[in-house]
Amino acid sequence: MSYITLGSRGPQKGALDNTGINPGNWTIAFTPDIIDVNVSQFEVYKMIVNSANPVLVTFDIAVDLAKWDTGVYGNRNSWDPSEPLIMRPTQTLYFFYSDLATDGFPPVATIWLRYDPLVAKGATA
C-alpha cells in the first residue's frame, strides 16, 4: 500500500458554534472548501489540537454531525490512529469543544490527509 499525501489543513481556529449541536461553545469546522480535495475518498490520519485555556477541556470529533470519537485532553492532544478516519470530499469534519466560546481561549486544530490511489480509483461517491 502506497499512500499519497494531500498535506495538512490548518491551523484552523475555533469559533462560536453555529451547528446547534454545541451551543455557546467553541467549534472547529473543516468544511469541504477548507479540505479541498478531489479524490473520491481520503484519510485523516493525523491531527493536533491545542488551546491556551488553563482549564481541562474535552472535545468530540464528528463527521457531518455524526460523532466519531472523543478527545479527553482538548488543551493539548494529537491523534495518530491505527484506524484513520475515512472521509469523502463533500463531508465536514468537526471538533466540538466543551468550553464556552466566551472564555477567550479559542482552540486550534491541524489535520493531515492522505489517500491510497488504488482505493480512491475504485471508490464511488
Domain of residue 87: give its range.
4-122
pLDDT at 124 over 60: no
Tell me how many helices (H) and strands (E) the chain has.
2, 10
Q: In whole angstroms, what is the distance from residue 80 CA to residue 18 CA?
A: 28
pTM over 0.85: yes
Q: What is the pLDDT of residue 125?
A: 46
Domain count, the chain: 1
Q: Across all residues in the chain, what is the average pLDDT?
A: 91
**Would you call the peptide bond into 107 cis, given omega within 30 degrees of 0 as the criterion?**
no
CATH number of the domain within which 102 lies = 2.60.120
Give per-residue pLDDT as tens, 28-65. 999 999 999 999 999 999 999 998 887 889 999 999 98
